[in-house]
Structure 1
């Protein structure tokens, strides 16, 4: 049992590190829109290990933003909301992990893919909800002329969320098709 927990913790750290590396690939348009490629690694660990592992990996990835100077910090509260809370909520990408893995084990690829897309969408929306909240509270002064903070935040974070889910979802779908064992940890 202790070996299994250690294995899961190590996997979480590895996937968080991979997510951080992927974050350095420039995929930003301006300061308000980006595709978060690190979510590829988060979706893999979420499907592979489930809710709690995804949350822990997300937390580690969020903390790595501070260490690598990739965090955009206005206030301590904003930093906490966007790099701790938002990244913890990546856990929701693991809500249907058992269903995805079960479908993969039974060679029901289309069923696995459906659950995977659903769980990736839930995880993406859960994370970006907190970026929306931070956008309204902290980033509203950067809104386009004539736009409210709410409209600016929902448009920018909504587009970023959808683009991230679509781009990362396509990559994860290809990975599920070509390397399904990546999503199926060995039982001990």
Structure 2
């Protein structure tokens, strides 16, 4: 996930988070406990590698801890997702995986939206509401992220679905 975070931005703050792809895949394979732990580690790596945009401690906690941990929420659909895969029902598996991706990406970008209007709202163009500004910036990035995650799932699940099945 961190390596994919180094893909150059092609649209400033509107760029999708490509690192969300392996996080969602991992959470669907290992469940919410390990998925949220992986999200936490991903967020902490931003500190270690000096990629944190810091305005206030509470902003950093929201955007680099809570938001990144949220990516592991996809793991809450890992059991029905894996059950569908074990029955070779790839359509239903893709449905659950998409639901997990939607949950994870929505919650993550909800937190970015909150931080956006609280901390980044002053960067809005003159006369624009900080809420609208945050919604446009984070909504666009979240939607693009979701599109790329779902595209990856649509490619990987039909061709490599068995990699998600864990022997317990």
Same-fold call, TM cutoff 0.5: yes
**Deviations along 1:92-133, whole A, 9 cap, x unmatched?**
211211111110110001010111111100100011111001
Q: What are the ranges of 5 or more consecutive residues in structure 1 without an aligned counterpart?
A: 1-18
Provide the rounded CA distance (Å) in 2 between the counterparts of 1:26 and 1:57: 23
Measured on the aligned residues, the alpha-carbon RMSD in Å equals 1.1
2:6 alignment partner in structure 1? 24
Report the CA distance between 1:153 and its aligned residue.
0.5
1:58 to 29, 39, 64: 39
> Is the 1:43–1:172 contact (alpha carbons within 8 Å) kept by the matching residues of 2?
no
Q: Deviations over 1:45-69 (max 9, x none)?
A: 1100111111100000000011111
Conservation of the 8 A alpha-carbon contact between 1:52 and 1:91? yes
* Native 8 Å contact 1:87 1:127 kept in 2: yes
2:106 and 2:5 mapped to 1: Cα distance?
Answer: 18
Aligned residues: 168
User: Which residue of structure 2 aligns with residue 7 of structure 1?
Assistant: none
The answer to whether the Cα contact below 8 Å between 1:37 and 1:164 also exists between their aligned partners in 2 is yes
User: Residue 73 of structure 2: which of 92, 110, 113 is its match?
Assistant: 92
- Which of the residues 125, 140, 151 maps onto 1:170? 151
TM-score (norm 1): 0.86
Could you tell me whether the CA contact under 8 Å between 1:28 and 1:35 is conserved in 2? Answer: no
Equivalent runs, 1:1-188 vs 2, <5 Å: 19-30=1-12, 32-187=13-168
Q: CA deviation at 1:74?
A: 1.3
**1:71 match: secondary structure:** coil
Q: What is the aligned partner in structure 2 of residue 9 from structure 1?
A: none
Structure 1 runs (4+) deviating above 6 angstroms are none
